[in-house]
Amino acid sequence: MIKRLFAFILLIFTSVMFYTIFSNTVQSTELKGVAKQYAARGADELGAQNLVTAIVVTYRGLDTLGEVAVLFLAATGVALLLRRRKEDEVLPLSEDKPKRQSSELLRTGANLLAPIMVMFGVYIFINGHLSPGGGFQGGAVIASAVLLLFLSDINYKINHTVFGLIESSSGVLYVVTGILGIFLAGGFLDNRILPLGELGSILSAGAIPVIYTLIGLKVGTELAGIIDNMRREN
């Protein structure tokens, strides 16, 4: 087929391009430029043990705010596209069968596991400034707990009022924390509005744990909302 041939030719050109890039890549042997500055000054300036977190939340905090906004837009888009209107006639599925409830064993196991998963997600985003992890990862773990409940119980429903409240209040508080940085510290999203504390302790790095907790709650509820919207469709 001619289309397949074109695709094949395109991929060969792409491969050649990648090979050229690859053969011209020189693996760096030392940190340069901005990365060097971050590595040398990050711990003293921001008090965060995990430098990636220091970059994500403070040095490039505005990027992260934009990232949260994109995620929020996507979640809103999913909800908007999948909302049910009465005048929409949906073609009936011929293979529709009544849903069967899953076994007692599975539901009990899932109910037992879900709180532990939420707790682990909270652990991940509270320790974001100390160890690998952070708000986005912890939020994804929380959403996977909700997904487990959805998969194991066909009648499971999330409380939309509580989820919406958590999502919107954590988003607003994130921006408020950022604006506080303008008045109390060096600029928007500066984490030094709270004392930096001792490097490596849980209450350190100023506002970074606060911001990551808010991001974790927001991402968790948002992803759970996306899952809920997609599930209600079927």
Q: Give the footprint of another protein on this chain (CB under 8 A).
A: 3-4, 7, 10-11, 14-15, 18, 22, 25, 27-31, 34-36, 38-40, 42-44, 49-52, 55-56, 60, 63-64, 67, 70-71, 73-75, 77-78, 81-82, 90-91, 130-132, 134, 136, 140, 199-200, 219, 223, 226, 229-230, 233
Report the C-alpha gap between 30 and 28 in whole angstroms: 6
Cβ partners under 8 Å of residue 227, min gap 6: 143, 146, 147, 150
**Least distance to another protein from the beta carbon of 37, Å?**
9
Q: Which of 93, 105 has the CB closer to another protein?
A: 93
Q: Which of 74, 184 has the CB closer to another protein?
A: 74
**Least distance to another protein from the beta carbon of 188, Å?**
18
Half-sphere exposure of 230 (CA within 13 A, CB side): 12
**How does 192-210 read in b/e, with b if 16+ C-beta sit within 10 Å?**
bbbebeeeeeeebbbbbbb
Q: Which of 22, 183 has the CB closer to another protein?
A: 22
**Least distance to another protein from the beta carbon of 105, Å?**
31
**Least distance to another protein from the beta carbon of 7, Å?**
4
Report the C-alpha gap between 105 and 109 in whole angstroms: 6
Report the C-alpha gap between 129 and 42 in whole angstroms: 12
Q: Which of 115, 132 has the CB closer to another protein?
A: 132
Give the phi and the psi of residue 21 in degrees, each rounded to 5.
Answer: -60, -45
Report the C-alpha gap between 30 and 41 in whole angstroms: 16
Half-sphere exposure of 202 (CA within 13 A, CB side): 6
Closest by CA position to 221, among listed 178, 160, 176: 160
Q: Which of 83, 160 has the CB closer to another protein?
A: 83
**Least distance to another protein from the beta carbon of 31, Å?**
6
The secondary structure of residue 25, as a DSSP letter, is -
**Least distance to another protein from the beta carbon of 99, Å?**
18
Q: Which of 7, 106 has the CB closer to another protein?
A: 7
